[in-house]
Structure 1
Amino acid sequence: MRPPLSLPLPPSDFLHALARRDFEVFLELCFRHLNPGTELSRGWYISAMCQALMEITEGSSRRLQITVPPRHLKSITTTVAFSAWMMGRGTDYKIICASYGQELSSSLSREFRKVITSAWYAQVFPETARSITRDTDTEVRTRQGGYRYATAVGGAVTGFGADLIIIDDLMKAADASFPEARARAQRYVDESLMSRLNDKASGAVIAIQQRLGEDDVSAHLTNKGGFNHLDLPAIAVRDEIIRLTHGRTHARRIGDVLNPEREPRSVLEQIRLDLGPRAFEAQYQQNPTPPDGDYVKWDRIQRYDKAPERSRLTRIVHSWDCAASPAPTADYSVGTVWGLCGASWLLLDLIRARLDYPDLLARVRSERTRWRADVIIVEKASSGIGLLQDLTRDMRCMSDPAHHAPWCLRLAGDSRQPKAERLYSGMDRLYSGLARFPREAPWLEDLRREMMSFPNARNDDQVDSISQFLAYGVRNTSRPIAERR
């Protein structure tokens, strides 16, 4: 519930007092002022964005990423309204707002200036309104040293420090297909914007955008880690509970449309036809890979709901694709865990990490013990060669007694066949149900993205582990490989 006010006030005073405390109310006043005569579509997703922004205000979140389709009030909500609200709450507050071009940046700055110079804003935040000493397309300053500075990719930020950085669509869709444009935007984030926080421990960064490609700014920020991510695809692809303001939640189910009043399913399908599946999946579904990849039809893969206990599984097989090094730019080492239940192999777990060899060996041995694995398949390449040798010693009880595993067979995977042929030749086993994926798993979305974008993904280690298993672990009869020693 909204906090009660201590005194009975006239309606306008009440509204202004409420807007001072409640950003969602303040946002509605901004929208009315900037769009006179237009009713704000009060979709639940607006409340979800307001809640995520309020967590920045409260300090419970310092890094926030929101991905949302075009024309869903993202710029007005963050770059205009939220920056005006934060400056109202602290006249010495410093904000840098960055967009892909100076024209867009200036346009949003003019919207911001319309808000803070309005009569109603002076009622909500009188001290800030009285304190403005500089008011231009790129910079608004207060007497107390606060400011909002608007810039664009490549723009100078030297001399400006920030308590809050707002990154709003740092790339336009037309540039997303050019590697040099993506690299330029990423460098600007790393070398210019992120270094501008006045206090690295308490400073906040908000990035709000639509997805444009697998290697876009959103992916770059995700790879940095530490960002809370509010992902709002136009059509829901998973069941989830989303936090709203005032302690409320919204239960979103697979297939639910984000804004059925403005963009019902029929409109979205027309947009899909107009844009094409790849652009629609990126910009509207926040998924830069379409549901039907070049080699994989994700919707055709058979699923299971809940894995049985280990005692009810006939066999456990691990499939490992090992990287050459643990460097941040290197591939991942990936292990997939499969259990035979009846006539189907179930994908039970997926391990994906950058590990040096001692840690890799320790992890493989740990997973072998945890799952009581019957078979471990390792690609005979890179660090997998040494891993095969150590696992052979374990199997023959020639290693340290703590690692003896005579019950666990190790097999060498053959990597001579081209990757695409390996995956393609095994997909019928996933489509037919001889091998099944879980309906839900914390790693499933990353796996889906990699499989959908194969063979053009930056990484393909999960695909390699799975295709290796499909080649060695499943035959047409679905008999476990351990029976053919």
Structure 2
Amino acid sequence: MTRRALSPGELLLAGARHDFGAFLELTFALLNPGVPLVKGWYVSAMVQALNEVADGSNKRLQITVPPRHLKSIATTVAFTAWMLGRNPAMKIICASYAQDLASELSRDFRKVIQSELYRAIFPVMASSIVKDTEDRMFTRQGGGRRAVGLGSITGYGADLIIIDDLMKAADASFPEAREKARQYVDGTLFTRMNNKASGAVISIAQRLHEDDIPAHLIAKGGYRHLDLPAIALRDEIIPLTHGRTKVRRIGDVLNPEREPMDVLERLRLELGPRVFETQYQQNPIPTDGDVIRWDRIQFYDEDPIDFLVDEGRRKLSRVVISWDCADSVAPNADYSVGTVWGYDSNFWRLLDLVQVKLAYADLLARVRYERKRWRADVVLVEEASVGPAILDMLSQDMRCQSDPQHHATYCQRQKIRPRVGKAERYAMASEPLYSGWAKLPREAPWLPGLQKEMMGFPNARHDDQVDSLSQFLIWMVGLGGRRLVDPRRDHSRAA
């Protein structure tokens, strides 16, 4: 008996049953009738990454991609429908930052599984649905899909967890919101995994902060990260479906048909550097900061260590150390930071940066060590946290009322009481760096970390280096700083 050849329509359905890329195209057409799907290579890259989760070769996937690039439809809608079509016993949780967003994506999912097209592709799954509400769908085989916002999940385990934009852009700058999202992932979502060995996690997002959920997951290790910035930041080879690859070069545009370079440059101007760098470039630390522009800062060429010789200093008429002190050594606590500044009758140079987590006694010892090492004229300490206690001990050193080994009559200590907020102080500190009255070294081992924090302020994970730097620069242009470098004053005491 001759076997009947499949019609083109039957071949299409059979292909969608086994090929997620084909199923995604049909899903997009169903949800967006009359709208052509732009088949950029990045879609194939996402499909390939999801295929690896489907076949079990990868159980942890992180995708970061700009807005409006099919990430939610591909993952939270189409992939969940396709996985359940192949295995109606699978349990899936889809989590978003708000129940409204989770419900909206759930409605698209329900539109797919309720369609005649889906019934033709996956007849067993389509006939197995026993409960189908806005946020929950259960099958006769015990599987299903549950859509949740940031909240509790009770009585439902998962074989696959999909985290789709767990934080609103407007909340990313608030540490409390970031911590709430992290605790929800670790303390709620991950506890619902049915089998810790075989269960899979997919996170899809656009970057919002250097301490956001993508950063939190990547720091755990074991995640394949498919990073797709709008404009390529590095040369790389990206796996695509059917064994193909994409060679992407620095400067290549992700989606030249919909968002060519001129459109992206206009978006950069309209959105501002921070929003564009985070959401489109997946870079939470933009090249240009919100407050200070790196390209306007002035630098000096000498090696900072050349100004320190034999536990003393040379070629410097004045040295000031600015300390921002923390009161905890907990893993998530702030650092204590000291910045060392030297004046050579022309301008102030940043010579060294000390960033430590030390309890009070050890921090006091480090402050004393740096004071002696650089033979500092003035030590600035903010009157906060353990600052008052350190100021008191430095005062005793200056007056020779402490242990003789700590006496330092040559060094004044200055308490700092900020009169404005951190952002205002940082903005006020920009002018000396732009004018060249204060300069940073062109090269130093600690400079990249300082740049990252300066450009990331006020949304960086820490701001202690910024606080120490702005504290000195504001003091420098004030009365105390001007008096210290007045040529009419005797400099011999600090020699």
For structure 1, the 5+ residue unaligned runs are 1-8
Distance 1:444 1:49, change over 3 A: farther
Q: Distance in 2 between matches of 1:337 and 1:445?
A: 19
| CA apart distance, 1:260 | 3.3
The reply to whether residue 263 of structure 1 matches residue 259 of structure 2 is yes
Cα shift readout 1:15-34 (whole Å, capped 9, x = no counterpart): 9679847x656544543554
What's the counterpart of residue 157 of structure 1? 153
Residues 77-96 of structure 1: pairs in structure 2 closer than 5 A: 77-87=74-84, 90-96=87-93
1:31 aligns with 2:24: no
- Residue type of the alignment partner of 2:329: P
SS at match of 2:146: strand
After TM superposition, give the deviation of residue 141 of structure 1 in Å.
3.3
Residue 207 to residue 346, structure 1, CA distance change in 2 (3 Å): farther
User: 1:137: how far off?
Assistant: 3.6
Say yes or no: does 1:415 pair with 2:416.
Answer: yes
Q: What corresponds to 1:427 in structure 2?
A: 430
The structure-2 alpha-carbon separation of the partners of 1:309 and 1:10, relative to structure 1 and needing over 3 Å to count, comes to farther
Helix, strand or coil at the partner of 1:71: coil
| 8 Å CA contact retained: 1:279, 1:288 | no
What is the alpha-carbon distance in structure 2 between the residues aligned to residue 333 and residue 278 of structure 1? Answer: 27
TM alignment of 1:47-446, pairs within 5 A: 49-50=46-47, 53=50, 62=60, 64=62, 66=64, 68-87=65-84, 90-102=87-99, 104-115=101-112, 133-154=130-151, 157-170=153-166, 192-199=188-195, 203-210=199-206, 219=212, 222=215, 226=220, 234=230, 239-241=233-235, 244-246=238-240, 248=246, 250-253=248-251, 257-268=253-264, 284=280, 291=288, 293=290, 295-302=291-298, 320-327=323-330, 330-335=333-338, 345=349, 351=355, 355-357=358-360, 379=381, 381=383, 382-383=385-386, 412=413, 414-418=415-419, 423-432=426-435, 434-436=438-440, 441=448, 444-446=451-453
Q: CA deviation at 1:182?
A: 8.4
Listed one character per residue, the Cα deviations across residues 52-75 of structure 1 (whole Å, up to 9, x for unaligned) are 656766566647363x44322121
Tell me the alpha carbon deviations over residues 427-478 of structure 1, each in whole angstroms, 9 at most, x when there is no partner: 2343245523779836743442125x6xxx885322112224546899899x
2:143 maps to amino acid: G
Q: 1:325: Cα distance to partner?
A: 1.9
Aligned pair 1:449/2:456, yes or no? Answer: yes
Structure 1 distance, partners of 2:150, 2:456, is: 28
Contact 1:378 1:384 in 2 (8 A): no
State the alpha-carbon separation in 2 of the partners of residues 482 and 204 from structure 1.
Answer: 69
1:365 Cα deviation (Å)?
Answer: 10
Structure 2 counterpart SS, 1:436? strand
| Contact 1:302/1:431 (8 A) holds in 2 | yes
Tell me the CA shift for residue 76 of structure 1.
Answer: 0.9
Contact 2:231/2:250 (8 A) holds in 1: no
Cα distance 1:146–1:423, how it changes in 2: closer, same or farther (>3 A)? same
Amino acid at match of 2:164: D
Q: Matched residues in 2 for 1:47 and 1:349: separation?
A: 46
Q: Which amino acid aligns with 1:259?
A: N
- Going from structure 1 to structure 2, the CA distance change for 1:30 and 1:343 (only over 3 Å counts) comes to farther
For 1:266 and 1:351, the matched residues in 2 are separated by 41
Aligned-partner SS, 2:212: helix
3-state secondary structure, aligned to 1:97: strand
How many pairs align? 448
Identity in percent: 48
- Residues 171, 472 of structure 1: CA spacing in aligned structure 2 closer, same or farther, 3 A cutoff? closer
Distance across 1 between alignment mates of 2:494 and 2:41: 56
**Residue identity opposite 2:296 in structure 1:** R
Shift in CA distance, 260/469, structure 1 to aligned 2, threshold 3 Å: farther
Seen in structure 2, the aligned counterparts of structure 1 residues 100 and 423 have a Cα distance that, compared at 3 Å, is: closer
Cα pair distance change 1:90/1:242, threshold 3 Å: farther
Indicate if the aligned counterparts of 2:321 and 2:338 stay in contact, CA closer than 8 A.
yes
Report the Cα distance in structure 2 between the residues aligned to 1:358 and 1:202, rounded to whole angstroms. Answer: 48
SS of 1:208's partner is strand
Seen in structure 2, the aligned counterparts of structure 1 residues 110 and 326 have a Cα distance that, compared at 3 Å, is: same
1:460 corresponds to 2:457: no
Q: SS state of the match for residue 328, structure 2?
A: coil
Which residue of 1 is the match for residue 37 of structure 2?
Answer: 40
Mapped to 1, the partners of 2:342 and 2:236 lie a distance apart of 33
- Amino acid of the structure 2 residue aligned with 1:79: T
1:76 aligned counterpart, secondary structure: helix
State how far apart, in whole Å, the 1-side matches of 2:238 and 2:406 are: 51
Shift of 1:123: 8.9
SS of the residue 2:93 aligns to: strand
SS across alignment from 2:106: helix
Match of 1:6 in 2: none
In the alignment, the residues of structure 1 paired with residue 216 and residue 127 of structure 2 have an alpha-carbon distance, to the nearest angstrom, of 42
Aligned mates of 1:284, 1:179 — CA distance in 2: 22
Deviation per residue, 1:325-354 (Å, 9 max, x gap):
23567543235588999988468777465x
Residues 307, 346 of structure 1: 8 Å contact kept: no
How far apart, in 2, do the equivalents of 1:417 and 1:48 lie?
51
Q: CA 1:168/1:298 → structure 2, altered by over 3 Å: closer, same or farther?
A: same
